[in-house]
Structure 1
Amino acid sequence: MVECYGILGSVGFCVRCFAFSVREIWCLNRRRISNGKQPASLWTTSADGLVKLRRDPSCSQTPVTVHQMFQESLEKYGSFNAMASKKAGKWEKITFAEYYRLSQKAAKSFLKLGLLRFHSVAILGFNSPEWFISAVGTVFAGGIVTGIYTTSSPEACHYIAHDCRANVIVVENQKQLDKITQIWNRLPHLKAVVMYKGPLLEKRPNLYTMDEFMELGNEIPDRELDAIIRSQKPNQCCVLIYTSGTTGKPKGAMLSHDNITWTSAHASRAGDMQPAEIQQETIVSYLPLSHIAAQIYDLWTGIKWGELVYFAEPDALKGGLVNTLKEALPTSHMGVPRVWEKIMEKIKDVSSQSGFVKKKMLSWAMSVSLERNLSYSNSDLKPFRMRLAEALVLAKIRNALGFSRCQKHFCGAAPLPSDVMQFFLGLNISLYQAYGMSETTGPHCMSGPYVHRRDSCGKAVPGCKVKLANVDEEGNGEICFWGRTVFMGYLNMEDKTKEAIDEDGWLHSGDLGKIDRDGFVYVTGRIKEIIITAGGENVPPIPIEDAVKKELPLISNAMLVGDQKKFLSILLTLKCAVDPDTSEPTDALTQEARDFCQKVGSQATKVSEVVRMRDQAVYRAIQDGIDRVNSRAVANVQCIQKWAILQKDFSISGGEFGPTMKLKRQAVIEKYKDEIDSFYKN
């Protein structure tokens, strides 16, 4: 540890190494706790606030803290393997007992560095055991876990780290460290930075490797950490999830211990995730842990039910995921729609390059599977044709994807296009949709093997409620949530919190949807995404966009525009290969797109050949496809009048997608303003 150059005795604060005495931190924390009042409201905007829990006869489970949940699991699963990560080409595993011990060590080290109660530890890095241990250690120490997306700019990192009052930032590598060093002097609460991968290129005060960090707290007695843990309450904040900020500044959604522990226990069981004493679930962690979907699925549910979590390599979303899947052989897997779309496109590409017989075999097998799944009966007996299709084709494809043991395939974070769902049904893979928000700790509605309906995102998790507000004549209304999943409020944003939570305590999602007589929920659009034409007609864009992509297999992304305009137009991108190193879309068309071009009479192999030369055959085929979509429109106002193909596909780096591959519509409108304006000239 670095030498101390001065001590302010009354505060116990080291000027050089920013290390507080734990006794002083404990006194400060106790004073803050003792000053807290009993909660009178279902929401708060203070990091140290308390809320009333939404307990009623339908949801009466005893609230517990994260530490209590871990201790319960430790008693049952202590000897089970908890995490597997690859080091020097070999999988290294640690048990739940070791996981717990390391989390305690991390908690003590955070205290030694001066982590104050209800201040944050921000984590900036790809999924790893160090991410999990840092997160759990933060909660044990009385802090708040705050993830930052690895794609964030230095300024975006600054906004979040400053807003959450981060005392410590844990970064993955030198690339992420460089972002923090640029903004360090503008973060008044920051006391230390820890890097968990690679050597430090330059030593500076208050900067530690993970090994150095883990030894800092050795002198902290167990009793002092235990006292902090005992003081924690289920209705206090332990996790902050920042929204993407597509419509303004990112908002920090505060999640309580009860939000985390209740959702981990009950939403996961609604999806048929099994406790390890029955069957230890194996999952692969690869989606950003700063997003609630991955964090609740990978980290917290993993602790609750004793799951074994394999960590993918950082290139997972660049094509490396399937390698981890084939080695881990997960029993359950979750992906956002774009991940499933990419898998679908890859299979189509491989198929298109296969011989005639293999193509025919795949087409036949998928048609047999799709027919059976669309007319699914409760009978477990498979007809001979289905058994044959499974043996000859489908099982082999699932094996090649790493899904040979996978029993549950989930999709969340955005609506799933119907053509993607049907494609996977053709592989005898049912994609179970989950629906929720950062503000509902992830899944509030769940589908699973025993509760699912085509095109629905499932039913409200038992103990939770869902209703529609302001229902129109077609049965669409704003989806609203009630239950133990509902967040505490937005950090330091009272107005935004009041907008989201009404006087009766219902959380308003901003999403439009329907609920059928059996309680299945269907998301039909988003209020803020609804296009209101100059004539005042409301047009939901997603169904029209999906119809265009289904009609035209070479289209990668479609975004409808026309707000406050006389007619609708659409921006299109073509399916293209992705650079495996940068994830940037390239100019080369995918095999599926090239096949489409050849079929309509074009020899184009690049996006630029289609767009710059305005390839007549392709443009005519696209217009024909749009004409077919328009012919099925419910009204003339929902017809597409003009369209344009963009020269580059959408991407995270291009700013069109957020970190979870959700389309950032306003960013697209701003970026392609000239193209959109050209639709409405004259």
Structure 2
Amino acid sequence: SCLQLGLERFHGVCILGFNSAEWFIADIAAILAGGFAVGIYTTNSPEACCYVAESCSANVLVVENHKQLQKILEIQHKLPHLKAIVQYGEELKEKRPNLYSWSEFMALGKDVPDTQLREIVESQKPNQCCTLIYTSGTTGQPKGVMLSHDNLTWTAAAAGRFIMLKDAKEKQELVVSYLPLSHIAAQMSDIWSAMTFGVQVFFAQPDALKGTLVDTLREVRPTAFLGVPRVWEKMEEKMKSVGAKSSTLRRKVASWAKGVGLQTNLKRMNGYSEVPMNFHLARHLVYKKVRKAIGLDRCTKCYTGAAPITRETLEFFLSLNIPVLELYGMSESSGPHTISLPHAFKLTSCGKALTGCQTLIHKPDGDGNGEICFSGRHIFMGYLNMEEKTKEAIDEDGWLHSGDLGKHDKDGFLYITGRIKELIITAGGENIPPVPIEDAVKDALPLISNAMLVGDKEKFLAMLLTLKCKSDGETGEPLDDLAAEAVEYCQKLGSKATKVSEIISSKDKAVYAAIQKGIAAVNEGAVSNAQKVQKWVLLEKDFSVFGGELGPTMKLKRPAVAQKYKAQIAQFYAEVDAPS
């Protein structure tokens, strides 16, 4: 069908929609027909869609519904290579030239002889590009990461074997597809590894990340599950609020079981294999029920990746006998580079390199911290039409420079300690990684949703804070109403506030005092004075993908936040003296 529409060799087929069978079919079809498979985030603006479609010279655009179609119609005139648009998720609302429904599109291929397709497939080489992943670059325009047939097939097999995915002939594995397929993590787990091992794939509802994911998990009961940190955090928040409402006895039993679970699992992690009697009891009374409630009762592989996760969240799940294992990698390494395993993991480490891949710590400092570099068959071909950027990423010796700072421990486990670009360098020349300080503040203050540290080239650090609030089910826009756990927290403090605006407009004494107290407690543990948070401000809206502060995998886009709230940041440093 793609060939009938006139897809040319090495031209893009862009796919814009939520995960579905049609997404997979369009992706694989584009590759077999000799084009590039190119996912576009459903949250992209028309301009961002245009940038991707133009840069890969797209011949065909596949969209899910009328809403996504509108974005393309708005920019169609700027896409000289575009020959056809296909809509799959709902019936067409209007007829237009070169606009096809999915069934019309599928019918087109009937007239193309199999020999023509076979010739194209046979002319393809393992080292040729077949997929473009556009990195949602936190700075500047996104870059098209070129992945070859070999990148995808080798990595899918290597990663699947590494985490001991079973072949379908031996045991049927099941996964839920819900993370954006334009991102390498979902593509690797849901398409390529799933094809390699015969995994059964179930598609979640499009509003999965707004709350329906757990329903799908309960229905499917997957054997492997990859969640981004925000997904695990949301589960943790929900479980805590449900727990808080149960009877005193239940709470006591749960608290006892969590203590046993954490102790036993930490010992296991450090190599003790004996399991105490009370652990078996706790598993029967608590852990099994909890797993069932979130649909993970058959899941032997719970993973997290794509952004940093806090130690608190990892310990929360570990205490319920759910080890959440961290993996690490990037689009430029076809997804995974290091992976933790059930019998080989350490809290806050991303595990060890895949078999056949190497890690180098470039220019380590006294503590062994340096830039993490990768090599292996999973390393990308380069950025599409960006030779300079490719040379910045891959050095003469073939090492891919990640831009992340990290170190190995004595057992060879990798720890990420920060991003080179993210480091705050104060006017006094201190290098400060922001994430640990932000995590400490969120941990000390359960009503804080997002925290972002600022102070680059300034005399002291300050912080932007947002409160946990409800969000619009349709758009994901943060609302003014506080989330249930934030309201509960306010009540404990003696505040009657139920809205973000009430707290900010009245500078709610109880809440502001509690935040100041929490920040003072974090400052107590600071390594040096330079690492103390001297000022802070509460913002009127929480960060969101909708507002542009978070990327598609909920990663904080620091430059975007700094730009959006530059007035508030300037205010911190407007007065000459830092508060003592």
TM range (shorter): over 0.9
The answer to whether residue 296 in structure 2 is matched with residue 400 in structure 1 is no
Contact 1:353 1:591 in 2 (8 A): no
Measured against aligned partners, the alpha-carbon deviations of 1:559-613 in whole angstroms (never above 9, x if no partner) come to 1000110000011111122333332222222232223223333232222222221
Please give the alpha-carbon distance, in whole angstroms, between the structure 1 residues aligned to 2:27 and 2:335: 17
Contact 1:270 1:447 in 2 (8 A): no
Which residue is equivalent to 1:455? 348
The correspondence for 1:327, drawn from 219, 227, 231, is 219
The correspondence for 1:488, drawn from 376, 381, 387, is 381
Which residue is equivalent to 1:216? 108
Contact 1:537 1:637 in 2 (8 A): yes
Contact 1:352 1:591 in 2 (8 A): no
Please give the alpha-carbon distance, in whole angstroms, between the structure 1 residues aligned to 2:343 and 2:323: 11
The answer to whether residue 89 in structure 2 is matched with residue 197 in structure 1 is yes
The correspondence for 2:541, drawn from 648, 652, 656, is 648
Please give the alpha-carbon distance, in whole angstroms, between the structure 2 residues aligned to 1:393 and 1:431: 18
Which residue is equivalent to 1:549? 442
Which residue is equivalent to 2:372? 479
Please give the alpha-carbon distance, in whole angstroms, between the structure 2 residues aligned to 1:451 and 1:115: 46
Please give the alpha-carbon distance, in whole angstroms, between the structure 2 residues aligned to 1:289 and 1:523: 25
The correspondence for 2:330, drawn from 437, 447, 451, is 437
Please give the alpha-carbon distance, in whole angstroms, between the structure 2 residues aligned to 1:278 and 1:187: 48
Please give the alpha-carbon distance, in whole angstroms, between the structure 1 residues aligned to 2:538 and 2:277: 46
What SS does structure 1 have at the residue aligned with 2:421? helix
Contact 1:476 1:513 in 2 (8 A): yes
The correspondence for 2:392, drawn from 495, 499, 521, is 499
Matches within 5 A, 1:387-426: 387-426=280-319
Larger RCO: Structure 1 or Structure 2 (Cα < 8 Å, ≥ 6 residues apart)? 1
Please give the alpha-carbon distance, in whole angstroms, between the structure 2 residues aligned to 1:259 and 1:520: 24
What SS does structure 1 have at the residue aligned with 2:2? helix
Are residues 384 and 588 of structure 1, via their aligned partners in 2, closer, same or farther at CA, if it must alter by over 3 Å? farther
Please give the alpha-carbon distance, in whole angstroms, between the structure 2 residues aligned to 1:133 and 1:218: 16
Please give the alpha-carbon distance, in whole angstroms, between the structure 2 residues aligned to 1:651 and 1:358: 35
Matches within 5 A, 1:548-587: 548-587=441-480
Consecutive unaligned residues in structure 1, runs of 5 or more: 1-108
Query: C-alpha displacement at 1:447, in angstroms?
Result: 0.9
Query: C-alpha displacement at 1:444, in angstroms?
Result: 0.6
Measured against aligned partners, the alpha-carbon deviations of 1:262-309 in whole angstroms (never above 9, x if no partner) come to 100001222222221222210000000000000001011110000000
Query: C-alpha displacement at 1:619, in angstroms?
Result: 1.3
Q: Which amino acid aligns with 2:502?
A: E
Query: C-alpha displacement at 1:380, in angstroms?
Result: 5.5
Q: Which amino acid aligns with 1:247?
A: T
Matches within 5 A, 1:141-540: 141-376=33-268, 378=271, 381-540=274-433
Contact 2:160 2:197 in 1 (8 A): no
Measured against aligned partners, the alpha-carbon deviations of 1:440-488 in whole angstroms (never above 9, x if no partner) come to 0110111122321111001010100001112112221000010011100
Q: Which amino acid aligns with 2:93?
A: L
Q: Which amino acid aligns with 2:281?
A: L
Contact 1:352 1:592 in 2 (8 A): no
Q: Which amino acid aligns with 1:412?
A: G
Please give the alpha-carbon distance, in whole angstroms, between the structure 1 residues aligned to 2:181 and 2:248: 43
Q: Which amino acid aligns with 1:505?
A: G
What SS does structure 2 have at the residue aligned with 1:564? coil
Measured against aligned partners, the alpha-carbon deviations of 1:29-54 in whole angstroms (never above 9, x if no partner) come to xxxxxxxxxxxxxxxxxxxxxxxxxx
Which residue is equivalent to 2:578? none
Are residues 355 and 648 of structure 1, via their aligned partners in 2, closer, same or farther at CA, if it must alter by over 3 Å? farther
Contact 2:451 2:465 in 1 (8 A): yes
Please give the alpha-carbon distance, in whole angstroms, between the structure 1 residues aligned to 2:552 and 2:83: 28
Which residue is equivalent to 2:504? 611
Give 4+ residue runs of structure 1 displaced > 4 Å after superposition. 377-381
Contact 1:333 1:409 in 2 (8 A): yes
How many residues are matched? 574
Contact 1:252 1:491 in 2 (8 A): yes
Q: Which amino acid aligns with 1:317?
A: L
Which residue is equivalent to 2:562? 669
Query: C-alpha displacement at 1:167, in angstroms?
Result: 0.5
Are residues 387 and 308 of structure 1, via their aligned partners in 2, closer, same or farther at CA, if it must alter by over 3 Å? same
Consecutive unaligned residues in structure 2, runs of 5 or more: 576-580
Measured against aligned partners, the alpha-carbon deviations of 1:235-269 in whole angstroms (never above 9, x if no partner) come to 00000000113210110000001100010000122
Q: Which amino acid aligns with 1:449?
A: P
What SS does structure 2 have at the residue aligned with 1:166? coil
Q: Which amino acid aligns with 1:302?
A: A
Query: C-alpha displacement at 1:346, in angstroms?
Result: 1.1
Contact 1:349 1:590 in 2 (8 A): no
Q: Which amino acid aligns with 1:604?
A: A
Structure with larger Rg: 1
TM-score by structure 2 length? 0.97
Are residues 587 and 183 of structure 1, via their aligned partners in 2, closer, same or farther at CA, if it must alter by over 3 Å? same
Please give the alpha-carbon distance, in whole angstroms, between the structure 1 residues aligned to 2:318 and 2:480: 31
What SS does structure 2 have at the residue aligned with 1:234? coil
